[in-house]
């Protein structure tokens, strides 16, 4: 029993914002279900507390700063989080669900993976409900806006409030397509810019 209890306490999260990445042990959380409940408890504090925390700039993984004091993180600033620990949902009896593909555009990231939806539901309408709070994305891949791969995980927790656009699709913007679009945009010149107004053209010809 002591061994089992020690495993329950062995929980750690990594939360990602637009600027920083923080890791630590979330206060009062022993499993994934409880962590999502805490993130979605909007009647409580606007912050979650991390014990034994470390923090670093977003794109500098080697520059970890161990704070030596608890860290408060605003929930609405979190884009997504990684969770290490038991994943059971505290005795919940979940209804039948299917894994549906999803693309989430949550600047500065693209997040691709699957979400759990009710069988037979309209994916787009069901997705509206899913992204109303924090939710799990399975088989997740994270990219930057141009499609450069940043990482992947079996499961991450995404803040629906940080998602600007979402679609039930298995596609994402990749480096090749982003480059193609940028090249096409560079070649396209609006007609008004390519051809001056009649008066301006006449003045140029007279000059």
Per-residue pLDDT at 7: 47
Q: How far is CA 73 from CA 47, 78, 117, 137, in A?
A: 5, 8, 29, 21
Which two structure tokens, joined as six digits, stand for 167?
């679609």
Spatial CA neighbour of 65 closest among 12, 109, 31, 21? 21
Per-residue pLDDT at 180: 55
38 Ramachandran zone, left/alpha/beta (phi>0; psi -120 to 50): alpha
User: What is the spatial distance between Cα 103 and Cα 166, in angstroms, rounded to a whole number?
Assistant: 6
Per-residue pLDDT at 9: 56
The pLDDT tens digits along the chain (207 residues) read 444 444 445 899 999 999 999 999 999 898 999 999 999 987 778 999 999 999 999 988 888 999 999 999 999 999 999 999 887 655 556 667 889 999 999 999 999 999 999 898 999 999 999 999 999 999 999 999 999 999 999 999 999 999 999 999 999 998 776 555 554 444 444 444 433 444 444 344 444
Per-residue pLDDT at 86: 83
User: What is the spatial distance between Cα 31 and Cα 4, in angstroms, rounded to a whole number?
Assistant: 13
Per-residue pLDDT at 47: 93
79 Ramachandran zone, left/alpha/beta (phi>0; psi -120 to 50): alpha
Per-residue pLDDT at 93: 64
Task: Label residues 188-201 b or e (16+ Cβ within 10 Å = b).
Answer: eeeeeeeeeeeeee
Per-residue pLDDT at 203: 45
């Amino acid at each position: 029993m002591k061994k089992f209890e020690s495993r329950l306490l062995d929980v750690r999260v990594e939360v990602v914002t637009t600027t920083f990445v923080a890791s630590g042990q979330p206060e009062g959380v022993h499993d994934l279900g409880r962590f999502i409940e805490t993130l979605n408890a909007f009647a409580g504090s606007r912050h979650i507390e991390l014990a034994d925390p470390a923090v670093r700039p977003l794109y500098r993984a080697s520059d970890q700063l161990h704070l030596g004091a608890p860290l408060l993180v605003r929930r609405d600033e979190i884009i997504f989080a990684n969770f290490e620990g038991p994943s059971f949902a505290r005795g919940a009896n979940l209804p039948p669900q299917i894994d549906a593909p999803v693309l989430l555009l949550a600047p500065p990231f693209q997040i691709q993976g699957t979400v759990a939806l009710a069988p037979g539901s309209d994916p787009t309408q069901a997705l509206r409900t899913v992204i109303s709070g924090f939710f799990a994305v399975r088989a997740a891949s994270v990219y930057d806006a141009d499609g450069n791969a940043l990482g992947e995980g079996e499961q991450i927790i995404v803040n629906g409030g940080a998602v600007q656009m979402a679609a039930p699709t298995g596609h994402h913007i990749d480096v090749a397509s982003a480059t193609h679009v940028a090249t096409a945009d560079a070649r396209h010149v609006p007609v008004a810019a390519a051809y001056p107004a009649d008066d301006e053209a006449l003045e140029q010809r007279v000059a």
